[in-house]
Structure 1
Amino acid sequence: MKASKKSKQKGYSKMAGNFQKTTSNFFVTFLIGLIVVSFMFTGVQSMNTSPNAVAKVGSYPISAREYQMEYNRQLNFFKNYMMQGKDLSSQDIERFGIKNASLKNLVQRKLQLIFADKADVVAAPAQVKKQIKEFEFFQTNGQFDINKYKELLRANGLTPQDFEEDITNQVYAENSESFFSMFPISEGYLDDIAKFKAQRYNGTIVEIPQSAVKKRIKVSSQEIEEFLKKEVNKARTESIFKQRKASLDVPEQVKASHILIRVTDTQTEEQAEKKIQEIAKKVNAKNFKTMANRYTEEESGKGKGGSLGLFSKGRMVPEFEQVAFSLDKGQVSEPVKTAFGYHLIYVEDKVSAKEATFDKYKKEITTELIQDSKEEELKELMSNIKTEVLDALRSNDSKKLETLKSKYAIKVEENVEFNRYEGNTGRTQVASSETKVIFDELKKVDAKIFDFDLATKTQIIALERNSNKDIPPFDRKKEMNGLQMALSNKLKKDVLKEIGDNTPVKQFVQL
């Protein structure tokens, strides 16, 4: 197998030495004018028209096959993690930016190969061969099988040369990672981390959002009327309504349930169609939910009568959507075929589209604008609520704090852990600047309440020092590894970003 990237004779020890001597200048000098990326495709539909490359990053082409594989990988990811196993519609693909994300990922990989070139990284033939031979699907009885290797590649439309080039690039990129991880971390630095982590406190964080408090500012009907008398104010209100209108409009929606019979490795299309036809003879509007619980092969629909809830157009695959929106309320469809299998659809309810009108929303928008203008009232309300919260925290009155939470829609998070090195745990994050203030003050006392008036909220933190028995042991090796990984990722991100920022891009056709 031909696996060498190019004829390079330098060993890793020499490369490491050269790298450490030249790193500080290297990243500044090699980044400028490095790459020309030429995009020559509109998307997945044009893959067959560009057999060699759809893009080029420096001397590295991005082949149509690479793009298709990455595009499919992205589709599978979003299908499984964002769509609960449902196929993506064209609107979903556009909404998630899958075409651009696929290209971006491939460009990043090529940029790392260019970095590897400049850093004199090698992909040794023996290393490439070893990795290929270790793939289990190329083995027979635990041994690499050359015939199986060639047959599997041929079945997937690949040549050994293409596959070995891909693995070589993969090894090449993996070897370049070692250069990003060469960070000397001193024992003294680890000692400081251990000391900062040992400064641990437990506490409560309270957030008073201005947006919630602002809604408590009273606005009279007379104020609204006077506000709208001025043309400039009315125009401003209308402008905000126009900006929000799309989100205020109610689209046509259908509330439906379905029975799904899948086509699988163990159930052919003919068998699935026959099964759905048999079910269709038995099902009606009255017994649909019972029949769905009994027959549907969609796990999430079992026990829920096959319910899909309310959905608008663009959320389902076209074949399903077309039938669902054409049915009347209370009607059950004939079998419908989609990429998922065969469906019976029952429309429980339909919601007509409703267009938002300015008259309906002008009072609400005007009230918001007037509340925004009452800065002194907001300031006073925020101050009063903060005083009440501080009193509750100082007296350790959890019942009062809960009352304030309900009354003012403030956020309260208890049992939050703070340490000087990592900041705080929990959902509510305290900025590093505030964390520094807190720990500078905590040098003087062991328990303290801190309040910060920020741009959009007031944040109050009440802390008490942890006892020593609550402090977990410091794992130096784990900390060293984690820190090196973080620094490595940061350097890699910065280097590849700077490459991208200084890369001229030619795009001939929009994705």
Structure 2
Amino acid sequence: MSQQSFIKQVKAAMAGNRAINGKAILAMIIFGMIILTFVLSDYSTRGNGTLGVGAAAEVNGEIITLKQFQEQENRIANYYAQFFGGKIDNEFQKKQIRSEALNELINNSLSAQAAEREKIYATDAELKKIIMEDLPYFKKDGVFQSDLYKNLLMANKLTPGEFEKDLRAQTKTQRIRQLFELGLSSSRIEKDLEAELKSKQMNVAFVKINADEIKKLITPESAAKNLTDPAFAQKVQDYYNNQKGEFETPEQVKASHILIRTGEGADEALAKAKMENIVQRLKKEDFGKVAGEVSEDPGSKTKKGDLGYFAKGRMVKEFEEAAFNTPVGKVSEIVKTPFGFHIIKVADKKPAQTTSFEAAKNGIAAKIQAEEANTAIAKHLEELVAKGAVAAVNEYINKSSLRWTESGYFDLTQDVLPQVNSEALFKASLELSKANPLAKVLVREGDAQYVLKLVDAKSVASTAPAKEDAAANQKSLSGYSKWISGLRKSAKVSTNDALLSQQ
């Protein structure tokens, strides 16, 4: 039997019911069902040879008897024998089974001890119910039989006291497992709800209204015509006078550089020596070629050192001063900055300049016209959507040269509306219906407002969450395994070395 198929059986058995499954517990104790055999078998045991002859291991002071070990070994061996022709005679297999048996007992002891510390108990009343009511093995004609109980245990070399002790420990361990299932996997209710939300799909359409969108519709001829209106022309002049900074371009330089980094353990003297060698190469070789080969600035290296145009205030002080003071076409001296050593080649310079009113006025006119049109359009659409006038809204949008954009179908597990990546629009979409397809208000997102309407809503068949269940079970199993591993790291565990080396 492969490790994967065995784990699948174990996971399937443990995922069946969140309630304490007495039948499964009895099967694990008597008939050899193993929890996490392969998952945890990679933990090696540590022996010290000081245990008594009747002890298999000691876990935080609790003795695991040789008899418990032999019984566990026999159960595992009997289980595996079903897959190896009825017997196991390979010495490697026998040693592996002994290792698994000891690891299983140690892990169960650690789990039970942790359950006690966390006040997770298995009461006498619970054990009685499991034995007398839940397990069918001890019943005849549906009634618990004390003699049948004792005889079946005896046939499996167990006393009632031993069986009940093991059953109590297994019950506590099972409770721990259930906590991991509840804490690390989605509940069935959550999965059902998610499936229901996935089955509901919508397609909505929206119109974006803001000044930038409307400005695209304004032609230069339209802007120029508005400037013939003295009142509008004054608005344009006032805007220019009050926003002078928009029309001023500072001095700029276009440069390339080569960087050899310092800091973070780099040898500064070695870095400078490398840069001095580069200076010698540049006397004979092309700057861009050398930069592409040796520069340690990954952002500009792929562009042969090119930094493009930049104004003052963009670079560190030392670099900026060297770039602006180096003539066009020349290469600077070596420049030291907090990043390392640089050498800079200046390709071009642009002086500071101011765009004149004559050159700027048409652009300003288009901007003001767009802002005023945006305000008027948004106000009128607010009035129409408040009335739910779908036909009137469509007519006005067409008249205004705006257009609808469809989101495409999306399910209700989404967080944002497709196409615009908007949480506000997604939430507003949930209020739409075929009876009321138009949102009653404009939805604001950033500097834009949106008209929103339903195009279609439909239900699709939900898919079975088999893969999700498997993933949740695996997550729970992995969490339990890590928890046991943590317990073992801090536990005091001694084992009888002879048990694993015996022939």
TM interval, short-chain normalised: 0.3 to 0.5
**Which entry has the higher C-alpha Rg, 1 or 2?**
2
Q: TM-score, normalised by structure 1?
A: 0.43
